[in-house]
């Protein structure tokens, strides 16, 4: 009987213990996969806001060219300005149409005249944003509205970091529980087969020979747990992709990038196999004393 056959024999003899071990691994990898997919979505959201202008000054309607040029000159005089882009009413309409191209009802009724012209400003020194905001919020004769993205990014960053930390803590707890469960189950299986191990040792089996089927068992639980965990998470991503993406529109929160998911699957298989091996190795070392 090859080690793999022996392992299969062990699994069949105690199917519920095997199921618990695989489920523990499955849960860990389901949470890991889900966390990574959510994290990737959050990174996309952050990136989206980070690449947006950091402050936008919407201008009052009917300003003449000279006033607009003066405003631009004045803005350029601030230290720490990276880029100032003037968005005319026509350009604003083009951007609006691009953002709502899937919803013709929203674009049909809108004309350039109802959209405000604006200055989109990005900075290299964040302190200048506050100055611009303070100075221009009082100029109500030329400025209609100011959108200060810094607040959004800061709050988004806080949320993202908090989500990451909580997710990481949950994964750490679940992975630790799975790991301990695996060690315990391998230990129980070894105890169940104590006589067989003792007899094999008396017949001349090396320590590694009797441990090998249990190590393989751990690897199998890790392997299948990681594959099923990933597949379940991927399936949920597939099912809820549309509704989640439409909620975050125009951001693609769940991007079904084949390379990303292949790398994730591969990394999880390696991690699962390694975790299964280490857990069973510790279990075997702890419980095989004869």
Partner 1 sequence: MKIVFDQVDKKFGIVYALKDISFEIDQGEFVFLIGNSGAGKSTLLKLILNQLKPTSGKILLGDIDLSNGNKDDVNNTRRKIGVVFQDYQLISDKTIEENIALILDIVNYPKEKIQSRIDKVIKEVNLGTRRFLFPSQLAGGELQRASLARALAIEPEVILADEPTGNLDPENSWNLVKLLKDINKENNTTIIMTTHNNEIVESMGKRVIKINDGEIVKDYNISKKS
Minimal distance, residue 198 CB to partner 1, in Å? 8
Q: Are 270 and 63 in contact (CB under 8 A)?
A: no
**Judged by CB, which is closer to partner 1: 96, or 209?**
209
| Residue 127 CB burial class (10 angstroms; 0-12, 13-18, ≥19) | exposed
Minimal distance, residue 194 CB to partner 1, in Å? 11
Question: CA–CA separation, 290 vs 10, rounded Å?
Answer: 19
Three-state SS at 145: strand
Minimal distance, residue 259 CB to partner 1, in Å? 42
For residues 196-209, one letter each, b for 16 or more C-beta atoms within 10 angstroms of the residue's C-beta and e for the rest, the string is ebeeeeeeeeeeee
CA neighbours within 13 Å on the CB side: how many for 148?
A: 16
Q: Are 276 and 222 in contact (CB under 8 A)?
A: yes
Would you tell me which residues interact with partner 1 (CB under 8 A)? 1, 9, 13, 195-196, 199-200, 202-207, 209
**Judged by CB, which is closer to partner 1: 123, or 193?**
193
**Judged by CB, which is closer to partner 1: 205, or 227?**
205
Minimal distance, residue 203 CB to partner 1, in Å? 5
Q: Are 63 and 260 in contact (CB under 8 A)?
A: no
Minimal distance, residue 184 CB to partner 1, in Å? 22
**Judged by CB, which is closer to partner 1: 49, or 209?**
209
**Judged by CB, which is closer to partner 1: 64, or 195?**
195
| Residue 227 CB burial class (10 angstroms; 0-12, 13-18, ≥19) | middle
């Amino acid at each position: 009987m090859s080690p793999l056959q022996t392992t299969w024999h062990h699994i069949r003899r105690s199917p519920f213990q095997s199921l618990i071990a695989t489920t523990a691994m499955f849960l860990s990898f389901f949470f890991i996969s889900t966390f990574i997919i959510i994290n990737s979505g959050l990174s996309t959201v952050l990136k989206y806001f980070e690449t947006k202008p950091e402050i936008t000054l919407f201008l009052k309607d009917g300003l003449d060219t000279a006033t607009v040029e003066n405003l631009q000159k004045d803005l350029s005089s601030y230290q720490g300005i990276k880029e100032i882009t003037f968005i005319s009413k026509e350009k604003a309409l083009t951007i609006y149409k691009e953002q709502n191209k899937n919803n013709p009802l929203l674009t049909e009724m809108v004309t350039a005249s109802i959209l405000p012209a604006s200055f989109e400003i990005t900075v290299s020194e964040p302190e200048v944003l506050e100055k611009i905001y303070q100075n221009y919020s009082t100029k109500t004769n030329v400025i209609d509205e100011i959108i200060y993205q810094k607040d959004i990014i800061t709050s988004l960053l806080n949320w993202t970091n908090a989500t990451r930390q909580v997710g990481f803590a949950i994964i750490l707890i679940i992975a630790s529980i799975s790991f301990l469960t695996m060690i315990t189950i391998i230990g129980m299986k070894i105890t169940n087969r104590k006589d067989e191990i003792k007899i094999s040792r008396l017949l001349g089996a090396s320590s590694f020979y009797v441990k090998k089927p249990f190590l393989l068992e751990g690897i199998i639980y890790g392997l299948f747990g990681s594959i099923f965990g990933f597949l379940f998470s991927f399936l949920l991503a597939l099912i809820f992709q549309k509704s989640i993406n439409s909620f975050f529109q125009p951001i693609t929160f769940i991007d079904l990038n084949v390379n990303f998911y292949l790398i994730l699957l591969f990394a999880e298989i390696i991690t699962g196999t390694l975790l299964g091996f280490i857990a069973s190795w510790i279990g075997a070392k702890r419980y095989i004393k004869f």
